[in-house]
Amino acid sequence: MIDLRSDTVTKPTAEMRAVMASAEVGDDVLGDDPTVQALEARTAEVLGKEAALFMPSGTMSNQVAVRCHTQPGDEIYLDANAHIFFYECGAPAALSGVTCGLIPAPRGIFGAAELHAAIRPSNIHFPRPALVCIENTHNRGGGSVWLIEQIAEVADEARRHGLSLHLDGARLWNASVATGVAEAQYAQHFDSVSVCFSKGLGAPMGSALAGSAEFIRRARRIRKMLGGGMRQVGIVASGALYALEHHRERLAEDHVNARRLAEGVAAVPGLEVNLAEVQTNIVMIRTPRMPAEQFAERLKGKGVLALAVGSDCIRAVTSLMVSREQIDQAVAAFASAACV
């Protein structure tokens, strides 16, 4: 099967497995796992922050950040399709007691004016504005990329209102490769940044939260409270560190493959792809002639896995598990599945 469901399906390379097998470990909760410490220090360096904290997942990383930045009854601001709101099980309300001020935003990208309009005035009847969250690249936006100028504009508006900023940068590596803007340049506008090692970078698990030393000290306590304290986790942290050092630049290959897939599928009668929206490794494919779930089943029968993410939309994601040759095979499978 050619698996285009997500870049989370990546498996460790042989080189990564070898590094993991020989990793030096300790008890991370007690603070003596040297491999975790090395990963956290390197991640903080790449992001231009004082400190970082290894997390089991991106969801925990985001939600620990929300908890650290807010108090129960506060309001956070993010676009209506943000992962933090859409895919994290209602965690802002359940774990932090905050409400979400949702901003309608094409492909997940909003401006200072939209943020300004969403922020409620100071009034005893309203929740206290506390935090702005940006997702870059944007999952439900089809891998859309925030330009650094757009982030700077929103960050300036947030600061004028005294709000903190968090970056859900699960695929920040992809944004950096696509634009040539270093991760630290993106991160400089935020008080906290979450990044993921188990998507395009290909590690078996793990994310990290970065920020000031004081922020990460608080985050470590919240991580423990939520059950995220880990023991000899250097085994998987070594895979994440290997991915960070060796797999970032190769993301450009995934972007090239996504473009090739998009152009091939766009030429198939009965399928629609907006090529202008294919910026990184995610391709959104419309299926106007049949329900997306039905199309995904037909595609599976042709040897390709992809996700139905709407009534008439298929999402295909390229990764290190998919070669250029397999992309061409996938295009042929899409063409065959589209025949009615």
Domains, in order of start, for the chain:
11-246 (3.40.640.10), 250-338 (3.90.1150.10)
Question: In sequence order, which residues have a C-beta less than 8 Å from that of residue 130 and are 6 or more positions away?
Answer: 69, 70, 71, 74, 75, 76, 98, 163, 164
How large is the average pLDDT for residues 60-70? 98
Token pair belonging to 118: 């969403």
pLDDT at 207 over 90: yes
pLDDT band at 340 (very low <50, low <70, confident <90, very high): low
Rounded Cα distance, 222 and 127, in Å: 23
What would the mean pLDDT of 181-209 be, rounded to a whole number? 97
Q: How far is CA 126 from CA 15, 73, 75, 122, 166, in A?
A: 54, 9, 9, 7, 22
Mean pLDDT throughout 99-105? 96
Q: Is the pLDDT of residue 227 over 80?
A: yes
Distance between CA atoms of residues 338 and 303, nearest Å: 14
C-alpha closest to that of 217 among 185, 196, 192: 192
Percent of the chain with pLDDT over 90: 99
- CA 14 to the chain's CA centroid: 25
Averaged pLDDT of the chain: 97
User: How many CB atoms lie under 10 A from the CB of residue 10?
Assistant: 21
Question: Which pLDDT tens digit goes with each residue over 132-149?
Answer: 999 999 999 999 999 999
Q: Average pLDDT for residues 183-197, to the nearest whole number?
A: 98
Tokens of 180: 């040539």
Let me know how many helices (H) and strands (E) the chain has, helices first: 14, 12
- The identity of residue 178, as a single letter, is A
User: What pLDDT does residue 339 have?
Assistant: 86
The pLDDT tens digits of the residues spanning 244-302 come to 999 999 999 999 999 999 999 999 999 999 999 999 999 999 999 999 999 999 999 99
Q: Do residues 58 and 66 make contact, with C-beta atoms less than 8 angstroms apart? A: no
Is residue 131 helix, strand or coil? strand
Q: Does the pLDDT value for residue 325 go beyond 70? A: yes
Say whether pTM exceeds 0.85. Answer: yes
Is the pLDDT reported for residue 334 higher than 80?
A: yes
